[in-house]
Amino acid sequence: MAIKQQSKAQKLLLEYRPTVWRKSALEAVPGTGHKALQACIERMRLTQELVAVLRNDKLLGKKLYWIISATYMTERQLGSVDEILDHLAKNHEYIPRRTYFRLRGRAISILDSHLEGLAMENIQFSG
């Protein structure tokens, strides 16, 4: 059985919470590495700006944003898909389980495409 490889967007999103925690730890200890703190802030900013791109989708922008936010960016990691769906229903609107998986995949695809576009822009500007 083949293991599905994570996309660049998924990797970035999965690193969001640990980056937030690391930033908090660095801020709590005086005299810790300024460069490490700046790296955390920059990574968080990049992730937040990337996820904000989802809101530009004309048909499903808000739902895509909510799904990614609830799945990867809440302060406390939600334990299961059911917990994520409950969070969405309480804070935004009910989304069926099957729809959640379909829209999460669509959101990740949009984010991956945007990341590829950013990488191509950086190549063109640096060359």
In eight-state DSSP terms, residue 79 is -
Would you say the pTM of this structure is higher than 0.85?
A: no
| Mean pLDDT across 65-92 | 92
| Per-residue confidence (pLDDT) for residue 71, from 0 to 100 | 94
pLDDT tens-digit series, residues 6-55: 888 999 999 999 988 888 888 887 776 678 888 889 999 989 999 999 98
Report pLDDT digits (tens) over 89-125: 999 999 999 999 999 999 999 999 988 887 666 654 4
DSSP 71-96: IIISSS---SHHHHHHHHHHHT----
